[in-house]
Amino acid sequence: MKYSSKLSINLQSLTDFISGSLANSSAGLATGHITLASTLEAFCNQSKSSKQDKDGLVPFLLEASVRYPYKEIAVNLTSSLGNVRPCSQRIEALGKLLRKELDKYVDSSFGFAHDAKINGEDIRLLSNIMKGFRMNGPCSGTEWFDCFVACMHFPSKHDFSWEVRKSAIDSVSDDLFGIFDEDKKAVLIHSLAYLTYKDDSEIVRSVASEKLSTMEKDSAVVEPFLMSLPKSCKALGAQSGGSQKATKRSKKAPQAEVQNRFKWVREVLEDQENLGLSSTILALEVLDLAEFENLNYLSTPLLETLELLLYLHQAVVDKSGNSRIQSSKVFATAAAAAKTFVNKEIDITSQARYGIELGLQALYNIAGGSVSKTVRVSIVGLSLKCMQFMEQASIHENALDILNQVIGDLPKRELESHASNVFAAVMDSLHLHVQWSASNHKFFKSVLGVLKPFLSNKSTMDQTLDEICRKVAEFERSDQEVFFALAQQIWDGDSLLDMLLEKAFEHAKQGAEEFAGIICEGYSGTKCLEALRNLLSNAGEDSLKMKVSFAIEVIASNRLRYSESDRSAKESTLVEVVKQASKTYGAEEGSEETLQQLYFDLLGEFEEICTPEELFGPLASLCDSGDENLLRTTLDLMSHKLSQQQKKLKAEVGTLVFEAVSGSLFKTTSEETKQACLGTLGQSLKHYKGSSVLELVDKLLLVPQAEEATASAIIFFFGASLITLKSRAIPCLPSVAKHVLGSLEEAIKESSLPVIQASLFTLESLVIHHGGMVGPYLSKLFELWKVLMGSESGNNSEAEALSLLLHVSEDVPVRILLPALLETLNLPCLPAVAKPLVDMLNNLLQTMDHSAIQTNHFDVVNYVLGALDGRRMHKMADSEYSSLECSLVDCFVSLVMKLSEASFRPVFLHVLDWSTKGTVNEGDVLDLKMARGISLFHLVIKITEKLRSIFVPYFKHLMETACGWLEERQKNSKRAKKRSKPSSDESVALWTLKLEVVHSLQKCFAYDTVGFTEENTFDEVLPIILDSLNDQPSSAIAAEVDALAESLLGVTASQRQEDEMELDAEEEDLPCYKNLDLMARETAECLNKMAIAGNNDTVWKRFNSKVLMASRTENPRVKLVCIECVSQLAQFLREDYIVLIAETVPFIAELLEDKEHGVQVACKEFVRKLEEISGEDLSQYMA
């Protein structure tokens, strides 16, 4: 630095010296330029150095950089002098060096050449030159711009050629970008866009993309290459149109032509081969990638470009086109351009779709800003064309987004003018959505947003909803759910629900109910109920059933939601439904009947979602209507709901219902409506018990004779009132009882079943709740009851009549009931009528206490004996009397069970005495003594079954009578043996009596634990019983006796059938014990019980001997009975019977040789039993 003064004097010589030294020193290549740079910079930094000395370095450097043989050193020298001014001179030096270097790689036409000669040092030099531009900052001169852009597109195929392009991109800064005019800025942005999307190097693409995104730039720089395609197409169209001006080469280049001396730059940026399509796509990609200021500037060129792309796509895809678009000049231009792409590899349709999609995204950003009315209308038009001509989902979504931004700001007149076109485009888009099969929330939101402005205009609202429902009805269910859920959110149009439902039924012919249900899902229960109300009120006849069915289904599907809706909505909708249902009331069979049922099903759903207060309030208000059908419908619904209402209604609701219905009762003139009012009032009594009930009862008692149905309804109401009011009904009891009994009497005469049943119900209510106060009316009640049961009407109301009788026996005190009942029973009546009364007496006796029995038992006994005396006046086959007799016997037994032994003894002796006395009447069918004997032993059997051993001693009073009847023989026995002749009642009666006697003796012996069957009794009775076996009934009489035994003895015919089913196939044709008549088998059972009751060896020996002796007869019936008796005795005695075998064997031997095979079989069975008991073979004794 001490030579600095000399350096300033002889700067050129110093440079030569340094240059020469560096040239002769290989080491200087690496360090020389640094040393020189440091020396020169130190010189420039000296304060004594004048500005002239410093500026003098720049010409030196310019000269040195051009002529210096080592360009890299010169470049670095220039770059190192960052604080040496001016900058323009340094940039100029770099520019000259850059141009000199690029000239090495171009041919005469400035095309790229000599690529093979490029090496790494050349790449590094160019990269460093580019870095020099970045390090030296901006300057005013731009003569080097062509070379700079050429480096950005440096086309060398060298492996590291990307470094040149990257260095050039890195050198672009906001300051450098700012020094260029608009044309150069456009070229620079175009170049960055090309490098971003087209460069082979991923690093270059990334750096270019980042540079584009971070630079501050105006949208005007995009217009030149955005309009490349439109301008090229116009030029092509002009040439194809034969323009003379087009034939001459214009000296002035087209606006789209890039002014650059390097051919490879022009080829890339002008894109003449593809008519500027690639450049236009690049411009659209840049608009999508980076942000630009003043974006609205591009609205017109962007619209023009998109329209051309749209028509270009249509010209290729749809060559036939349509008359409307073919008449367009733009389409003609696009069609001419499409022809040039026929033989090109480029896929024009895909490029056009891609460009349209990018352009719509850019247009969306423009539409979001402040644009003029004209531009806004143009944007709407272009968006509609895109939706009309393109079938790509993303394009439709972008177009809808654009429409969603701009269409709401259109004036009303413009909105209406575009309505049809918008609807058509949106509907086409929705149609394509079905083909896309994607539930796209964004797409649906865009559609709904576009249509929203049309809903605020009355002239377009209907058409909007009409088009929407028509198209959405074709969707899948999932898409429909998404669409209408979003519609409810975006449109926020609760008032639109009514119209949506109407349109749903209008357009969804099949599945309209499901479609409408989906619409309702997005709305609250309150809004849906209001919409349903309007839907039903405006429904036409052709769609009414469908809409009612829909209302049923939609409420039933989510009852909880609708139950939580506003009360006013539920009540108003309910009123409308009831009004609609009333129009179908009383419809004849057919469609109206079905519709009526649907309405009532819908009302049933309202019962489910409404509280009682919400339901009955509006219904009560409808009772004031003058419409009979409406009133009837309301009453039916109220009655049904009241009958199902478990909990009691609130007092105010019950009062409201009762007063409303009772007021309608006296206003209406229709008998049917009166009946409905009375039925509803009866149901309402569970919820209302005010004083108005008694007042209404008094009014109804004064009503003159009404029609049958009305009269029965009034009486039913009386019964319901008695149940409800209980003790408060006492003041009106006499009037009600007299009215009901009088009505019942008239109804029986006229065979009026409704009035009869109503009267029985009310009388039952009276008895249940006021049984202690019905004494004055019991006789009349019983009298009418007997008349009713004896009439034809009694068959239809038998259950109600018997129920009334049961409650009389349970709820009326005995002291009041018994005298009236006995008085009634003592009057003559049919057996079938008397039986329920006797059963009631039986029930009454079972509930009476001892004192009451002691007081009244002789009255009961006298009645029972008097009633039993009726046996002689009825044939044995009279089933009604047999049933009555059984009831009388049961009643007597119930009385006996309540008596003490001291009280029973005189009663029994009275009965015994009664059976032996009496006066024969002219109309008797049976013998007096025989008839009373049947009743006597029927009583004895039932009493013995109840008292068992207690009653056995009383048989000493019966033995003489019993033996007498067993010894009684049938008259005209020869005639009786003829089976073909039918039996007489006397014969059946006699054998029935004998059967009862034997059965009663059987019970006596079975229950004898007191030693009644002693030897004297045994000796007295046994011969008579054995002798009775010789008297045999005919088969006809035996069959009748068997049938009677079921009711009189409790021995059923089924038991006989079971015995017969046990027979083997061989035994069916043989006479055997099981085949014998019931009398024979009962006699055998009696003898067995008698032998067991004897209970000592002497009695058993005597019994065995006498029975075996009785077997020596010609009658096989007697033989079989005897064998069965000794067999049962042996089975009972087992080893104790061995002592009797010796005397038994001779008789067995005789019986084994009997001519009746059945007797032999029975005897052999007996022998096997004896051998089993004795363990010895008895055949040796039989010989």
Q: What is the pLDDT of residues 818-843, one digit of tens each?
A: 999 999 999 988 999 999 999 999 99
- pLDDT, one tens digit per residue, over 291-337 is 787 777 888 888 888 888 888 888 887 655 554 455 567 777 777 77
Q: Between 971 and 1181, where is the model more confident?
A: 1181
Which structure tokens are listed for 515?
């479609």
Which structure tokens are listed for 749?
């005469």
Q: Between 390 and 43, where is the model more confident?
A: 390
Least confident stretch, 226-230, 435-439, 678-682: 435-439
Q: Can you give the pLDDT at residue 954?
A: 94
Residue 474 C-alpha from the chain's centroid: 24
Please, what is the average pLDDT of the chain? 79
| Alpha carbon distance 615, 637 (integer Å) | 10
Least confident stretch, 10-19, 99-108, 267-276, 724-733: 10-19
pLDDT at 458 over 90: no
Least confident stretch, 423-432, 743-752, 775-784, 968-977: 968-977
* Whether the Cβ atoms of residue 1076 and residue 1120 lie closer than 8 Å to each other: yes
| Alpha carbon distance 254, 246 (integer Å) | 12
Q: Can you give the pLDDT at residue 79?
A: 52
Q: Can you give the pLDDT at residue 996?
A: 94
> Three-state DSSP class for 56?
coil
pLDDT at 1061 over 60: no
- Candidates 393, 397, 406; CA nearest to 365 is 406
Q: Can you give the pLDDT at residue 422?
A: 79
| Alpha carbon distance 1083, 1078 (integer Å) | 8
Highest mean pLDDT among 68-77, 441-450, 489-498, 1080-1089: 1080-1089
CA angle centred on 943, ends 938 and 944, rounded to 5°: 100
Least confident stretch, 4-13, 408-417, 641-650, 728-737: 4-13
H-assigned helices in 437-476: 441-455, 458-472
Q: Can you give the pLDDT at residue 624?
A: 83
Least confident stretch, 414-418, 679-683, 707-711, 802-806: 414-418
Provide, rounded to the nearest whole percent, the portion of the chain with pLDDT above 90: 25
pLDDT at 1145 over 70: yes
* Whether the Cβ atoms of residue 674 and residue 710 lie closer than 8 Å to each other: yes
Burial class (CB in 10 A: 0-12, 13-18, 19+), 541: exposed
Domain borders along the chain are 4-148, 500-610, 689-812, 814-913
- pTM of the full predicted structure? 0.60
Q: Can you give the pLDDT at residue 1163?
A: 93
pLDDT at 144 over 80: no
Q: Can you give the pLDDT at residue 1165?
A: 93
pLDDT at 107 over 80: no
pLDDT band at 390 (very low <50, low <70, confident <90, very high): confident
CA angle centred on 465, ends 464 and 469, rounded to 5°: 125
Q: Between 635 and 415, where is the model more confident?
A: 635
Q: Can you give the pLDDT at residue 233?
A: 80
Question: Which amino acid does the sequence have at 49?
Answer: S
pLDDT band at 77 (very low <50, low <70, confident <90, very high): low
| Alpha carbon distance 433, 483 (integer Å) | 12
pLDDT at 249 over 50: no
Q: Between 118 and 1080, where is the model more confident?
A: 1080
Q: How far is CA 983 from CA 420, 991, 995, 1039, 1079, in A?
A: 105, 11, 16, 10, 16
Q: How far is CA 267 from CA 117, 126, 233, 260, 273, in A?
A: 23, 22, 18, 10, 9
Q: Between 15 and 982, where is the model more confident?
A: 15
Q: Can you give the pLDDT at residue 844?
A: 92
| Interval 1165-1174 mean pLDDT | 92
pLDDT band at 689 (very low <50, low <70, confident <90, very high): confident
Least confident stretch, 170-174, 536-540, 544-548, 563-567: 536-540
pLDDT at 27 over 50: no
Q: How far is CA 564 from CA 149, 318, 611, in A?
A: 74, 57, 10
Q: Between 1106 and 703, where is the model more confident?
A: 1106
- pLDDT, one tens digit per residue, over 598-653 is 888 888 888 888 888 888 888 888 888 778 888 888 888 888 888 877 778 888 88
- pLDDT, one tens digit per residue, over 225-234 is 788 888 888 8
Q: Can you give the pLDDT at residue 906?
A: 94
* Whether the Cβ atoms of residue 208 and residue 166 lie closer than 8 Å to each other: no
Residue 111: CB atoms within 10 A of its CB come to: 14
Phi first, then psi, for residue 179 (nearest 5°) are -80, -10
Half-sphere exposure of 593 (CA within 13 A, CB side): 3
Q: CA gyration radius for the chain? A: 62
End-to-end CA distance of the chain: 175
- pLDDT, one tens digit per residue, over 43-59 is 455 444 444 444 555 55
- pLDDT, one tens digit per residue, over 197-214 is 888 888 888 888 888 888
- pLDDT, one tens digit per residue, over 881-908 is 999 999 999 999 999 999 999 999 999 9
pLDDT at 1057 over 80: no
CB burial of 1130-1155 (b: ≥16 within 10 Å; e: otherwise) equals beebeeebeebbeebeebbeebeebe
Residue with tokens 């032998």: 1091
Highest mean pLDDT among 235-244, 401-410, 909-918: 909-918
> Three-state DSSP class for 156?
coil
Which structure tokens are listed for 155?
């086309």
pLDDT at 877 over 50: yes
| Interval 562-566 mean pLDDT | 87
Q: Can you give the pLDDT at residue 623?
A: 86
Beta bridge mates, 106: 112
- Could you tell me if residue 558 is left (phi over 0), alpha (psi between -120 and 50 degrees) or otherwise beta? beta
- pLDDT, one tens digit per residue, over 367-384 is 777 778 788 888 888 888
| Interval 354-365 mean pLDDT | 85
pLDDT at 918 over 70: yes
pLDDT at 404 over 90: no
Highest mean pLDDT among 94-103, 337-346, 1006-1015, 1060-1069: 1006-1015
Q: How far is CA 423 from CA 311, 349, 474, 782, 1116, in A?
A: 22, 26, 16, 84, 111
Q: Can you give the pLDDT at residue 502?
A: 74
